[in-house]
Amino acid sequence: MTEVLVEIAGWVGALLILGAYALLTAERVTSRSALYQGMNVVGAAGFIINGWWHGAIPSAALNVIWMLIGVVALWRILRRGSSTSAT
């Protein structure tokens, strides 16, 4: 059961990060959007879980950094109260 949950975390993470990038590229969100940053933070968390479980430490480490960047950006967005998703 744990293996299935780890795989789900990885796939959900991948879909969230790809979805965030697709929305950004389609100009549906900006990098200053709480939605964009939130999708990246949660997506990176899924990759961290999956990468760590499978022993892919470089990937897990990269995603820890990716997640921290997103957390800082999200904190700044929410602190300013400007979580607009339009460009």
Residue 84: the pLDDT is 52
pTM more than 0.75: yes
CA 60/CA 7 separation, integer angstroms: 14
CA 36/CA 18 separation, integer angstroms: 11
pLDDT at 79 over 60: yes
CA 11/CA 50 separation, integer angstroms: 9
pLDDT at 82 over 60: no
pLDDT tens per residue across span 27-74:
999 999 999 999 999 999 999 999 999 999 999 999 999 999 999 999
Ramachandran quadrant class, 28 (left: phi over 0; alpha: psi -120 to 50; beta: rest): alpha
